[in-house]
Amino acid sequence: MVYLVGATNIIIDSTLTTVWELLFVLVTYQLLSVFSQYKLSDSKEVSFLSRLFTQNNKPASNPGREFENQVVSVTGASSGIGRACALEFARRGARVALAARTKERLEETKQLIEQQGGTALVVPTDVRKIEECENLINKTLEAFGRIDVLINNAGVSMRAKFEDLDLEVIRDIMDINFFGTVYCTKFALPHILKNKGTIVGISSISGIAPLPGRTGYTASKHAMDGFLNTLRLENMDSGLNVLVVHPGFTASNIRQTALTQDGDQQGKSPRDESKMMTPEEVAEVIAKAVIKREKDLVLTGEGKLVVWLRRYFPSLTDRIILYEMKKEPDSPV
């Protein structure tokens, strides 16, 4: 038996045999439709559903100087969440070391920080290279004398079916998203331990749930989650805080720079960016979480719903995720 749900005709096959299972599918699909239509991260749009799935994520309206005299190092600081974090932590009093491959974009970030009265250091860094990660930490210590927070944000996505994918694409993604986090954390760790500071990893909902057409990206985020969660346990008695952040879809250039099956940038986003959480909103939530020494964040109402469904109804959630990704223009799956 096949059921067609709503105007978009989501197909539920005969393995859902009970009325209760069908009812659950109907409710779930409607919830996902609601979350995809509204940007529930804005405080003015908080409703019953967003309160249910968006706990402790309301951005602070009047940030203070909580990071006065502290030093924050941010990778991937040339755009998106990385740039927004650099600006947010600087606004809260931190001196910020900026790392990314493109020096010109880093200088733009530095200028924005200085315009708001902050202090920043530009250190061009390719996180795929061990020696450049070590140089980032050394330059930060030379300039500021300490490191309190490391934000591992450098990352790249992809969009291709695995069977069509050049294996060098996955290697490149793992080198940036996973090994870049490992290298920077390795060199920063002794100094952050000394200050009982925080290591942050910007993961993704795909670090928890599968994302078809993004095998390499999903694998890198699962690896990051495993690495950082284990690092937290190893240092549980040392005063180290490790925060793993799982943003949902965020309005940034990560989809424009996502790699295709041949390793070229796809150049455009297949999704409606206007309905996504902004990098600035994500950065505010991250800063609050670091202050509170939180361990794990799942962002956006839709993201929280997916994680909850994945935990209790994995097979059903897999079908919903696959259906949603197939709706993308020129979907590879």
User: Which positions are catalytic?
Assistant: 217
Please classify residue 264 by burial: count the beta carbons closer than 10 Å to its beta carbon, then call 0-12 exposed, 13-18 middle and 19+ buried.
Answer: exposed
Sequential DSSP letters for 131-168: HHHHHHHHHHHHHHS---EEEE-----B-B-GGG--HH
Strand partners, 10: 5
Name, in order, each residue with C-beta under 8 angstroms of 86's C-beta and a sequence gap of 6 or more: 72, 74, 77, 96, 98, 109, 113, 120
φ and ψ of 130, to 5 deg: -55, -45
**Angstrom distance (rounded) from CA 155 to CA 82:** 10
Name, in order, each residue with C-beta under 8 angstroms of 192's C-beta and a sequence gap of 6 or more: 147, 148, 149, 150, 198, 199, 240
For 180, the token pair is: 């870049």
HSE of 195, CA atoms in CB hemisphere, 13 A: 18
**Angstrom distance (rounded) from CA 260 to CA 332:** 10
Q: Report the relative pairing of strands 198-202 and 71-75 from DSSP bridges.
A: unpaired
**Angstrom distance (rounded) from CA 266 to CA 7:** 30
Quick one: which of 60, 42, 82, 23 has its CA closest to 301? 42
Quick one: which of 59, 63, 89, 64 has its CA closest to 74? 89
**SS3 track for 115-139:** HCCCEEEEEECCCCCHHHHHHHHHH
